[in-house]
Amino acid sequence: MKLFNVAVVGATGLVGRTMVKVLEERRFPVNRLTLLASERSLGREMNYAGRSIPVQKLGPESFRQIEIGLFSAGATISLEYAPLAVQAGAVVIDNSSAFRTDPDVPLIVPEVNRRQIFKHKGIIANPNCSTIQLVVVLKPLHDRFHIKRVVVSTYQSVTGAGQAAVDQLEAELANIVPQRKKFPHRIAFNCLPHIDIFFDDGYTKEEFKMMNETRKIMETNIKLTATTVRVPVIGGHSESVNVEFEKKCSVQEVVEILHRAPGVVVQDDPEKNLYPMPITSHERDEVFVGRIRKDDTVPSGINLWVVADNIRKGAATNAVQIAEALVLGR
């Protein structure tokens, strides 16, 4: 197989470090790996495939001979440097929100809309972490029963807000005043119904992302409303999902479809206390679903509990899976 020159932008962040790890785990065909970050990361080295690779400062000339760029350094950096990488000949897979709503940029979850990858014009967007795990479960059910409406409430790990958020939680749990606060309130022993900024209609940007990204990925105008909540968990997003279908369905049919769905693991045996949890999704790439039960308030409704590792499947692994499909041409 052809080997590729790959750059990871934001290589020293939570997601960037995991991208490097996943590239090695999945034996992605790397010829040369370039690790890029801000000036404050200069002098650091990262291990990859038994080698120590120095971190370089990101700059306009960083993408010479780079063929694939995995970006996870925030929207501002992506807006500035992704076009430069494309001009240099790279295909960019961007984990920020910079290009997700751009109609000319495919928004990809390989289990859901893999073929859209090849419509790219140099940039492919990686969806929001909470959206990724949701659509992996919704798509096979929509194909069979046609979704009418979705109500989703999330329970999102502090890792989704970066290292500063993890540091704040750990400091508060140790009764130490955090050196820097990521959240406007205490997160230890607390829940914050506030992820990203609020809009005038009372929804947050995170909720807006979930609603609009789901429609774009699934190429349908599903009615979806969301409430996103930050919880004091390190690693793993959970979602309570209520789905109303156009067609009649049974719990058994839903379970059978999800058992066959790519990237999904059904964990649903209440008598044995078996159900998805963030702690058991840690370091896994699958999306876990359980607590599958009827919603008797509507003619055809189902309740689901969906969990995934937000740093892996919700970000790094999904990006590497996109790159894999890209280089394989399928």
Active site residues: 129, 237
Residues 96 and 64 sit within 8 Å (Cβ to Cβ): no
Check residue 229 and report its DSSP letter: E
- Please report, for residues 135, 173, 261, 306, the alpha-carbon distance to residue 255 in angstroms, rounded to integers and kept in the order given: 16, 38, 10, 13
What is the 8-class DSSP label of residue 289?
E
How many Cβ atoms are within 10 Å of 102's Cβ, its own excluded?
13
Angle made by CA atoms 120, 123, 124, in degrees to the nearest 5: 75
**Cβ(191)–Cβ(230) under 8 Å?**
yes
| Nearest-5° Cα angle at 86, 84 to 88 | 70
Task: Name the residue among 127, 132, 168, 172 with its Cα closest to residue 152.
Answer: 132
301-308 β-sheet, strand order: 223-230, 147-156, 237-245, 301-308, 287-294, 264-266
CA–CA distance from 317 to each of 194, 277, 287 (Å)?
A: 26, 19, 12
